Amino acid sequence: MKFPYGICDFHKIISQGYFYADRTDLIPLLEETGDQLLFLRPRRFGKSLLLSMLENYYDLAKADSFTQLFGHLKIGKNPTPRHNSYFILKWDFSEINPQGSSEDIQKNLHLYLNDSIRDFALTYRDVLPPGIIRESSNGFSAFKSLLAAVRQTSSQLYLLIDEYDNFANEVMMGAENGDREQYKTLLSGEGALKALFKVIKSAAAGQGLDRVFITGVSPVVLSDITSGYNVAENIYLLPEFNHLCGFHQEEIAEMLEQVATHCDLPEEKSAEALELMRTFYNGYCFSPRTEKRIYNPTLALYFLKSLQRSCEYPRKPLDSNMAMDRGKIRSIAGMPGGHELVMGALAEQSSVGVVELADRFGVQDMLVAKKDDVFMASLLYYFGVLTIGGEGEFGKIILTIPNLVIRKLYAERIRDALLPDNRSIESVRQAAEALFQQGDIQPLCDFVEQKYFRIFHNRDYAWSNELTVKTAFLTLLFNDTFYIMESETTLERSYADLTMIVRPDMRQYDLLDILLEFKYVSLKEAGLSGEQLEQLSQEELRQLPAVQKKQEEARQGLARYQEKLRRKFAGQLRLRSFSVVSVGFERLVWVEEA
């Protein structure tokens, strides 16, 4: 089976027999929804392939290829009257160089527009009248000249804009680091990008431009150009377009079935692979009015291609092309209150909820305005590191981490923020290995007491409970090469704090499955000060009444979870279970439960 990993050319995918998840049945609905549409999805989610499909469907120059490209697809049986009836002009703003001064960036924009219009004139030279005038210093004039030529024909223009916010976001990141004039020059007042969208708006008012389809990651840039372009319809939260990009579970199962045949895998191995992919890559939802989950296509294809090549699961579940998303988490975590939001999301606190996703905030909001949880959580949603998880109290939209590979980015962000030096990271690695291989949790607890607790103590003692302690352990232990780690694991309608189950393809190694239950005793409950706690031995800590009460609660919980885990995994586990009680941010008391 040919997997189109990294390929966003629809013509190549179809003509060369790559797998294609057919979304052409949504074309009529897109036409009915509006003439100018804005569609947002996280990076590497198939937006460019979507535009390539629309380009091939509507391009009048590709009418002879319609049956070859679309005849076997859903739309091929009943195409809309608009197919192959438009001139297509496609802009990909990720190709515009965002480096240099404000003048350099504007020059790069105009050069890009002129280059695209030159290619347009060459493509349609047999059907367009001559005379499209290009001005290297003024791409807007060249665009108007193109429209004048289009108006002399019987067809109209369809404008496709890919990654509309890409180069502007790059400039904005520079603004975060102190250089704000470039972004202002680009988008504020009569800035170049804002002026361009004003021209697009004018062109759609009877000047030859009939339809516009825009893709991007977030609404930030569009908010800054709203007065110049306020006519696009937002379709990115509509339930009918939840699956416009990405894979269904059924499509993943179909591809896995073919890989299983290629690798001669037994049925149970194919089912195991499907469950592993669901854990690592599924979980995205882009509308509060649907519960259907979508797989990230880039991550899914990375796994499937690797599995087909070697008939083994990829050792690293996270495709390195997605790793840069950790920078988005770092950016949010650096905002006031952002660290707590990221910690809460990792610990799966239900408080990461919003009444509505913010969809109108510009660079001033990003750089100057006071940030609240709605703003920061919305940004994490648009970046693809949070997704819609359901409804909470009072109709709030609950935002959750979509899957295990994204959870890894959170864990790494928090760990790197709290442990910036390499020596500490090496100490953590050794402590984690002692737990994974020998079931010895003491080195890890010692590290948390001596390193992590000092950091937490200096940050915010008020934000302290078992969630904080659990998050500390989660960040230190996270290892998706060998384990499937889950926080608040659902076990027959009850929830274990933290489970680390050895990946099925890693059971050949001498690794233990780990179950952890966390409890927290405040200094007030303990009746002692931090200084007094420092003087107590482990045995003296265990004798504290408040600690004994919490340990008994944890022991009872662990007994229930152990039984359910053993039923679920039918004797496969080498399970070791621990209760960990934190007394303030001073001491840890742990017990291994049989």
pLDDT average, residue stretch 357-372:
67
Q: Which of 241, 263, 284 is the last residue of a domain?
A: 241
Q: How many domains does the chain have?
A: 3
Check whether residue 259 and residue 293 sit in a common domain. yes
**What's the chain's average pLDDT?**
89
pLDDT in tens, 79-94: 999 999 999 999 999 9
Using an 8 Å Cβ cutoff, are 212 and 161 in contact? Answer: yes
Tell me whether residue 385 is in a domain.
no
Structural domain contains residue 413: no
Give the model's pLDDT for residue 350. 47
- Give me the mean pLDDT over the 370-399 stretch: 87
**pLDDT tier for residue 210 given thresholds of 50, 70 and 90:** very high
Q: Is a pLDDT exceeding 90 seen at residue 570? A: no
Give the pLDDT confidence of 31-75 residue by residue, as tens digits: 999 999 999 999 999 999 999 999 999 999 999 999 999 999 999
Res 1 pLDDT > 80: yes
Give the phi and the psi of residue 186 in degrees, each rounded to 5.
-75, -40
Question: Are 218 and 267 in the same domain?
Answer: no
User: Phi/psi at 15 (nearest 5 deg)?
Assistant: -70, -25
In the predicted structure, residue 77 carries a pLDDT above the cut 60: yes
Residues spanned by the domain of 549? 422-594
Give the integer Cα–Cα distance in Å for 477 and 518.
Answer: 14
Instruction: Give yes or no for a contact between 70 and 19, defined as CB atoms under 8 angstroms apart.
Output: no
Q: Which residue has the higher pLDDT, 27 or 487?
A: 27
Q: How high is the pLDDT of residue 461?
A: 47
The more confidently predicted of residues 363 and 360 is: 360
pLDDT of residue 118: 95
Q: Is the pLDDT of residue 576 over 60?
A: yes
pLDDT of residue 490: 66
**Paired residues of 390 in beta bridges:** 398
Question: Residue 290 has what pLDDT?
Answer: 95
Residues 231 and 305 in one domain: no
**DSSP letter at 21?**
-
Q: What mean pLDDT is predicted for residues 94-109?
A: 85
Same structural domain for residues 182 and 302? no
Model pLDDT, residue 462: 47
Phi, psi for residue 591 in degrees, rounded to 5? -140, 135
- Segment 496-509 mean pLDDT: 93
Does residue 293 sit in the same domain as residue 426?
no
The answer to whether residue 281 sits within a structural domain is yes
Q: Which of 93-107, 255-269, 457-471, 563-577 has the lowest mean pLDDT?
A: 457-471
Among 280, 299, 317, the domain boundary falls at 317
Q: Indicate whether 362 belongs to any domain.
A: no
pLDDT in tens, 302-336: 999 999 999 999 999 988 877 667 777 887 887 77
**Among residues of the chain, what percentage have pLDDT more than 90?**
67
Is the model more confident about 222 or about 152?
152
| Residues 428, 473 share a domain | yes
Supply the angle between the helices 267-281 and 249-263 in degrees, to the nearest 10: 140
Tell me, yes or no, whether 45 lies in a domain.
Answer: yes
For residues 191 and 55, state if they share a domain.
yes
What's the pLDDT at 347? Answer: 74
- Mark residue 416 as left, alpha or beta (left: phi above 0; alpha: psi -120 to 50; beta: remaining): alpha
> Within this chain, do residues 70 and 161 fall inside the same structural domain, yes or no?
yes
Answer whether residue 175 shows pLDDT above 60.
Answer: no
pLDDT: is 98 or 503 the higher one?
Answer: 503
pLDDT at 169 over 80: no
Q: Quick one: pLDDT band at residue 226, thresholds 50, 70, 90?
A: low
Q: Which amino acid is at 307?
A: L
- CB of 403 closer than 8 Å to CB of 283: yes
> Which three-class secondary structure state does DSSP give residue 592?
strand
Nearest-angstrom CA–CA distance, 269 and 506: 14
> Is the pLDDT confidence value at 460 over 60?
no
Same domain, yes or no, for 49 and 151? yes
At 533-563, the pLDDT tens digits run 999 999 999 999 999 999 999 999 999 999 9
Mean of the pLDDT values across residues 559-586? 92
- Judge if 300 and 448 occupy the same domain: no
Residue with tokens 């680009």: 186
Burial tier of 82 (Cβ tally within 10 Å: 0-12, 13-18, 19+): middle
Residue 215 · residue 41 · CB < 8 Å: yes
CB 142 within 8 A of CB 196: no
Label residue 485 by pLDDT band (50, 70, 90): very high
- Does residue 386 form part of some domain? no
Q: What ranges make up the beta strands (E) of 24-118?
A: 36-40, 86-92
Q: How confident is the model at residue 259 (pLDDT cuts 50, 70, 90)?
A: very high
Q: 302 and 177 in one domain?
A: no
Judge whether 110 lies within some domain: yes
Higher pLDDT, 375 or 300: 300
Sign of CA dihedral 189, 192, 196, 197: negative
Instruction: Tell me 370's DSSP state.
Output: P
> pLDDT-based confidence at 124, cuts 50/70/90?
very high
User: Which pLDDT does position 85 carry in this prediction?
Assistant: 99
Can you give the CATH number for the domain in which 185 is found? 3.40.50
Predicted local distance difference test score (pLDDT) of residue 331: 78
Q: CA 339 to CA 211: how far, in whole Å?
A: 42
Both 95 and 206 in a single domain?
yes
pLDDT cut 70: percent of the chain above it: 89
Averaged pLDDT, 512-516: 97
pLDDT band at 236 (very low <50, low <70, confident <90, very high): very high
Give domain status of residue 475, yes or no.
yes
Q: How many Cα atoms occupy the beta-carbon half-sphere of 222 within 13 Å? A: 22
Q: Which letter, b or e, does each residue of 146-185 get, where b requires 16 or more Cβ atoms within 10 Å of its Cβ?
A: bbebbeeeebbbbbbbbbbbbbbbbbbebbeeeebebbbb
Q: Quick one: pLDDT band at residue 500, thresholds 50, 70, 90? A: very high
**Which of 179, 213, 241 is at the close of a domain?**
241
Q: What does the pLDDT read at residue 99?
A: 79
